[in-house]
Chain A
């Protein structure tokens, strides 16, 4: 192979000042190919590197093997548009390696050694690796959440207590539920902030700065999602408590737990209905708008049709999202209420579709 030559050259030529170093490297690794993989060499050739550069690179590799290895991987990805070792397979190997020692392949061995070095480095590497890995991580997170919902032990982060302090609301001292961030940058539960503004004046409870008018009611979505990811149990408990409170207000008479469950279902059903109503009203608004436009310019038929189609599609998406949210929010809700909601939604969709068709025709 032509590619072999430069690495050999590396060893031969390194007589000047760094002979010992290269020799020890040679001893350590038996083969210089570990440091300059064939793929790297070909990539270097394509990039127009000469042997000198490769020699330099080999030294560099020796100094910081990890960085170079990741760089090498990325570069090869860029150049060949293929993944040399798919992240999935590498992951498998890593798992296997923890169980049984594998037969040795040079490059893989180096990578594995690097990975064994420290957990931190591992994390960094994960960031470096491709989108597929990210997706896997995301999947893993989702799995974690699901598994937590199935009451298995929660993820234990070393800084979880600090996070808890940081993400708890100064007013109710619990984990922020639907956090809302003030203009001065402090976050509280939406409910807490609202009642604080009502009862104690429009000042930030933490720094006494004036709170702007409308903004304090909006939920900080990123923060809220983070909280839901980090403290699913607490959030679930708060949600349950809130719904129990609501139920208590609706019917103050004492009930057995079974009845309470049904009450909660009813509540979620009500919520879903409200959501659907909102969606419907939104649709009606959009319809009105398009009608108005129609009156204004009757000739633009095509445009209107497109509008109708868009409205329909949007509605579908909204329904889907609304359902996604409510089903995750109230996983415990009974199948009967869910099915009734589904049928309701279907009916609504049908009505909308027919309206759209009427308008088109």
Chain B
């Protein structure tokens, strides 16, 4: 069974992977398909399809409702302009009471994203609230593209450059965008 969001939005996975997936997926469905987290994620998916945030899209990767892929298009007027950045979103089983794990899959030169793609964004850690949705998380991602948070850095090296030599920082970021995100 395919989830509606996962099929069209992203490039389809090889069929062999699906075959491998379906075995585990069926057992997974039997256990938690009626759970509150599953319901909530389904609702969020529906809402995202109806009203997606600007420059963003997201949906389940395959059969698993708890594993999503999101894309953010680099906003205009930033060094990330025109780049397409992929993110992995993994929902915990007690979502929305615990934050989803968001990881950049595309390399990016940004002071809030470390080399492994992990984010240093407060709302995904201690300031997470169950009233936040993936839509809001994506909006937050987009806002750190527009305005990095140098005082809560993941990579202090980039932060230092960002604060001391903004032009150089932007140049490097643009180069990285061209290299990895296009």
Contact = CB atoms under 8 A, between A and B. Distances in A.
A199 B95 CA distance: 10
Contacts of B125: none
A155 interface: no
B28 interface: no
Interface in B85-110: 94, 96-98
A56 interface: no
B10 interface: no
A208 B43 contact: no
Interface stretch (B128-136, B141-149, B158-166): B128-136
Interface string A222-249: 0000000000000000000100110010
B129 A200 contact: yes
A329 interface: no
Interface string A157-187: 0000000000000111110000000000000
A203 B132 CA distance: 14
A231 B98 CA distance: 29
A199 B94 contact: yes
Interface residues of A, number: 18
A51 B44 CA distance: 70
A6 interface: no
Nearest to B35: A245
B140 to A, nearest CB: 15
Contacts of A200: 97, 128-130
B40 A172 contact: yes
A44 interface: no
Interface SS, B side: loop
A245 B44 contact: no
B131 A195 contact: no
A172 B97 contact: no
Nearest to B39: A172
B39 A174 contact: yes
A192 B44 contact: no
A206 interface: yes
B34 interface: yes
B39 A171 contact: no
A199 B98 contact: yes
A171 B94 contact: no
Which residue of B36, B44, B127 has the most chain A CB atoms within 10 A of its CB atom? B36
Contacts of A206: 129, 131
A75 B144 CA distance: 66
Contacts of A244: 34
A174 B43 CA distance: 8
A174 B128 CA distance: 20
Contacts of A192: 130
Interface in A193-228: 195-196, 199-200, 203, 205-206, 208
B129 A195 contact: no
A204 to B, nearest CB: 8
A170 B34 contact: no
Contacts of B128: 200
Contacts of A208: 127, 129
A65 B14 CA distance: 75
A64 B95 CA distance: 59
A257 to B, nearest CB: 15
Nearest to B94: A199
A325 B106 CA distance: 56
Nearest to A198: B97
A152 B94 CA distance: 37
A205 B129 contact: yes
A170 B129 CA distance: 10
Interface in A238-277: 241, 244-245, 248
Given A171-B130, A199-B97, A199-B98, A241 B43 contact: no
B40 A173 contact: yes
Interface in A108-152: none
Given A171-B96, A173-B40, A174-B43, A205 B34 contact: no
A206 B133 CA distance: 12
A291 B131 CA distance: 51
Nearest to B96: A171
A237 to B, nearest CB: 11
Contacts of A170: 130-131
Contacts of A174: 39, 43
Given A170-B131, A208-B129, A248 B98 contact: no
B97 A196 contact: yes
Interface of A: 170-174, 192, 195-196, 199-200, 203, 205-206, 208, 241, 244-245, 248
Interface of B: 34, 36, 39-40, 43-44, 47, 94, 96-98, 127-131, 133
10 contacts: A170-B131, A171-B40, A171-B96, A172-B43, A173-B43, A199-B98, A205-B130, A206-B129, A244-B34, A248-B34
